[in-house]
Amino acid sequence: MTEAVLSIGSNLGDRRGYLTGAVSQLGDAVRAVSSIYRTPPWGGVEQDDFYNAVVLVDDAGVRDPLDWLRRCQALEQTAGRERTVRWGPRTLDADVIVVGALISADPELTLPHPRAHERAFVLVPWAELDPTAVLPGHGPIADLLPGLDRTGIDRIGRL
């Protein structure tokens, strides 16, 4: 239960800098980082495009999936994230997508992320890192991608 897939995104300020800072703070837990993708905002709030990436992490010290949630929240706090508008602009958004093959309806951390199967900005970079990845309860991400709108999702470089 130590392996996880995290999604990170930013659409305020130094977007690339916030992503780079998050990856740096994850330290030795980082196993792979996708390219950065510029993506349109999701959720209907008028705002700038996001920079998104996926990070594969593994840490033998993580015994509970909530540890990954706490790490993501700490990354957001360090980046000065303010939660004022749901799905609104943010310096850093860090989400736990999966922890191993765990399926959980825990209200504090639902796994896999309840909307991951709908989000090309998560699945496109994840497929770059692991084309054979499976989203628990939904199947191979390679099978999910063809059904998603990838309009406006552009690979723009590496961290």
- Full set of structural domains in the chain with CATH: 3-157 (3.30.70.560)
Q: Can you give the pLDDT at residue 106? A: 93
pLDDT value, residue 86: 77
Q: What angle do CA 80, 73, 70 make, to 5 degrees?
A: 150
Residue in 15, 38, 90, 119 annotated catalytic: 90
Catalytic member of 93, 130, 143, 154 = 93
Q: Tens digit of pLDDT for each residue in 24-52?
A: 999 999 999 999 999 998 777 788 999 99
Reported as a single tens digit per residue, the pLDDT across 63-79 is: 889 999 999 999 999 99
Clarify whether 14 is annotated catalytic. no
| Low-confidence residues in the chain, pLDDT < 70 | 1
The pLDDT value given to residue 61: 84
Which DSSP helix (H) or strand (E) runs through 59? none
- 90 annotated active-site: yes
Task: Examine residue 112 and say whether the peptide bond preceding it is cis (omega within 30 degrees of 0).
Answer: yes
For residue 78, count CB atoms less than 10 angstroms from its CB and return exposed for 0-12, middle for 13-18, buried for 19 or more.
middle
pLDDT of residue 150: 95
> Which pLDDT does position 159 carry in this prediction?
87
Catalytic residue among 59, 67, 71, 95: 95
The answer to whether 95 is a known catalytic residue is: yes
pTM higher than 0.85: yes
Helix ranges (H only) for the chain are 15-26, 65-78, 120-129, 141-144
Q: What pLDDT was estimated at residue 84?
A: 77
Bin 17: left if φ > 0, else alpha if -120 < ψ < 50, else beta: alpha
Distance CA 17, CA 75 (A): 13
User: Phi and psi (nearest 5°) for 85?
Assistant: -130, 125
Residue corresponding to tokens 């609104």: 88
Catalytic-residue membership of 38: no
* b/e per residue 2-15 (b: at least 16 CB within 10 A): bbbbbbbbbbbeeb
Q: One of 15, 38, 71, 81 is an active-site residue; which one? A: 81
